[in-house]
Structure 1
Amino acid sequence: MTAPASLVRIEGVSKHFGDTVALDDLTLDIARGEFVTFLGPSGCGKSTTLRILGGFERPTSGRVILDGEDVTLQPPEKRHVNMVFQDYALFPHMTVRQNISFGLELKGMDKAAIRKRSDEIMAFLELESYVDRYPGQLSGGQRQRVALARALAPDPALLLLDEPLGALDAKLRGQVQLELKSIQRRTQKTFFFVTHDQEEALTMSDRIVVMNKGRVEQDGTPEELYFHPASRFVAEFVGDTNLLSGTLRGQDGDKIVMDWFGQNLTGLAPGFTSAVGGNITASVRLEKLGLSAERPFAENAVKGKIVGKTFLGSRMAVDLAVDQTEGAILRAFVDAEAGGTFGADPIWMGWDSKDMAVLRD
């Protein structure tokens, strides 16, 4: 018998809460060993998907296939799945070892096997020095690691993570993000991670599924979503961008020419079709715009005056009011020291067509 093509298949899943549609005909495959992040605002359907995968909610329609088996109607304890909650849900009256051993006891393992497995997982996650401590004696990062160890100890096929870094401060969160991704790579486990934090998603994920109103807006690698957003929603939700609205002048394959305040700009639009003269919107990320005193050799170039600068540490955000385009402001990220050299003289801003993505809506 051949192995299934994917570890998880979500097949036509919808979920209704009364008249509210939380998920609308979601179909998705998750490969074995993949770190997949569901990203989106509150109410987009990401947590509902996680709960359906975990068996805590039943879909209104559709199926969940795990490792080739239909588990749609199976309760959580019957699934080869474990979960790390946002508040960690550690038992305060149990030590680190007892917390990690809890799931193994539920599986009916004998004491020697439980001891061996808990020792292995504690060594793997470098928790040996905390073995006899209680959760109240641990830092936020340590509690997060214990919760992860408890979830990994029974060797689940799929690990669900429900915004598990939300309780950490910004500096610690950055450290734990890298640690979590390292653990996922070393264990080669399949992680399904839910967050509303786009920076967190970009940092850790092999693949990001952006959700909006119960539907998938875009599914791709962090690089694809960031530099080639498919829709206005994705462009604005994932990072900072310039949105340029104009009309279509012409198209040659994947490359389009748009009229933007009387200027011809070129961009990429794979699979895009529209009538000449139709309205279109394109996205250009701030770091893809270059500033120069002379007209650049880039395919797209506009001239204007700097009307604002924001110091951001290693870089600076520079706002350019474009000539002959009343109210049009383009913002670029530049090196902080270089940005300080630009004064009141007219300046050019340029970018390549490959860095301008035409949006679906």
Structure 2
Amino acid sequence: MTTPLVRIDGVKKSFGKTVALHPLHLDIAEGEFVTFLGPSGCGKSTTLRVLGGFERPDEGRVILGGQDVTHLPPEKRPVNMVFQDYALFPHMTVRQNVSFGLELKGMGRGDIVRRADEIMAFLELDRFADRYPGQLSGGQRQRVALARALAPDPALLLLDEPLGALDAKLRGQVQQELKSIQRRTQKTFFFVTHDQEEALTMSDRIVVMKDGRIEQDGTPEELYFHPASRFVAEFIGETNLLSGEMRGVEDGRVVMDWNGHVLRGRAPAGVPRTGEPITASLRLERLGFFGDRPDTANAVQARVTSKTFLGSRMAVDLEVADAAGARLRAYVDTATGQGVGDAPVWLGWDADSLAVLRT
């Protein structure tokens, strides 16, 4: 196996009586864009600060590029950081801000000029080289902060909610730009956010944190469509939660009873015992609408109770027949939503779309 660029080996951190990080084990490969996602106080920023050397763990080790850096200060680590407020020097020009870290490394003047010119050209900042931060837009300041962090050529870049200060429209543009920069530089990015849409948009891999522990670790698609726990299912996007009873396993698929309907799904976090109460997640866009009973692993008949126009799609609320008032919500394209009337419809979805959750 390839040696990971970053290894977090049993790191634990407490502040007084509050445990911020329970023993944490995580490997990050070179060139990955890894996002730590979770609510405030879940431990994601503490992990970032431990990696950067701003906090020292109570237990465990931090390995970077095969070197134990647990007790090294920030300036001795091959790491750089981009803060939420960018922390640019307002009295310095773009060129001076970008050159600052290179000067701290003790590079010669000629090398500093060449490297600053190179990174500014790469991030299309060369025409702003003599401007001050106050003369730049939010997106331009973001790029200056990235240029300053990337100029010393760190092995790992830490980003602490760096898009939080941007408005919604600019934020979307910068998300795509940041991911493009990461791909072009092939640098390893460790990104911290509480915004699930941001994490899904940008990441190769998402680590969902809860109460100082890893709740689930996987690709955006895995976490969205195959959440392991109720927390992940509800924290990332919208979902239907179906509560029922475990019936058994057939052909590798979990079989559950849901209000008298037999449903088939998958169990990403492990197969429950027969007879146990279980809850499954079904994403709203996974439901298909049919005039007749579909040839899908799961099918129920339902009646539309309300529809909400959302522009490019519609949200459709339905009451399931013969299911003791059970309800489902679906996202469909506008044409499909407008075509659904008062008559009962069939809903169908495959087994891979139904994820049985760890409680």
TM-score range, shorter chain: over 0.9
* Aligned AA (1:189): K
Within 2, Cα distance between the matches of 1:276 and 1:300? 20
Which letter maps to 1:80? P
Aligned to 2:243: 245
Distance 2:15 2:251 in 1: 44
Amino acid at match of 1:152: L
State yes or no: 1:356 paired with 2:354: yes
The match for 2:285 is 287
Which residue number in structure 1 is paired with residue 156 of structure 2? 158
SS at match of 1:74: coil
1:88 to 82, 86, 89: 86
TM-score, structure 1 length as denominator?
Answer: 0.97
Q: Which amino acid aligns with 1:201?
A: A
Within 5 A, what are the aligned runs for 1:15-54? Answer: 15-54=13-52
Q: Tell me which residue corresponds to 1:55.
A: 53
Q: Distance in 2 between matches of 1:346 and 1:273?
A: 34
User: Deviating runs (4+, > 6 A) in structure 1?
Assistant: none
Shift of 1:327: 3.8
In the alignment, residue 145 of structure 1 is paired with which amino acid? R
**Does structure 2 retain, via aligned residues, the 8 Å contact 1:4–1:68?**
no
Checking the alignment, whether the CA contact within 8 Å between 1:254 and 1:269 is kept in structure 2 is: no
Corresponding residue for residue 71 of structure 2? 73
Contact kept, 8 Å, 2:226 with 2:268, in 1: the verdict is no
Task: State the alpha-carbon separation in 2 of the partners of residues 178 and 353 from structure 1.
Answer: 33
Map 1:298-337 onto structure 2 (within 5 A).
298-337=296-335
- Report Cα offsets for 1:221-272 as digits up to 9, x if no partner: 1111111111111111111111101001121353111110011011112563
CA distance in 2, matches of 1:254, 1:212: 30
Shift of 1:83: 0.2
Partner residue, 1:98: 96
Q: State the one-letter code of the partner of 1:267.
A: G
Distance (whole Å) between structure 1 residues aligned to residue 111 and residue 269 of structure 2: 55
Match of residue 173, structure 1, among 164, 171, 174: 171
Which of 204, 207, 213 is residue 209 of structure 1 equivalent to?
207
Give % identity: 73
Q: Deviations over 1:289-320 (max 9, x none)?
A: 01122222212111121112111111111111
2:272 corresponds in structure 1 to 274
Give, in angstroms, the shift of residue 85 of structure 1.
0.2
Q: Which residue of 1 aligns with 2:114?
A: 116
Q: For residues 108-138 of structure 1, give each alpha carbon's deviation from its aligned partner in whole angstroms, at most 9, with x where no partner exists.
A: 1111111000000000000011101110010
Letter aligned with residue 214 of structure 1: G
Query: Residue 357 of structure 1 aligns to a residue in which SS?
Result: strand
- How big is the shift at 1:275? 2.6
Of 262-271 and 340-349, deviating more is 262-271
Matched-pair contact (CA < 8 Å) for 1:35–1:206? yes
Flag the 1:347–1:186 CA change in 2: closer, same or farther, 3 A.
same
Gaps of 5+ in 2: none
The question of whether the paired residues in 2 share the 8 Å contact of 1:125 and 1:149 is answered with: yes
Q: 1:142 aligns with which of 140, 143, 147?
A: 140
Q: Output the TM-score relative to the length of structure 2.
A: 0.98
- Backbone CA RMSD of aligned residues: 1.2
- Contact kept, 8 Å, 1:4 with 1:67, in 2: the verdict is no
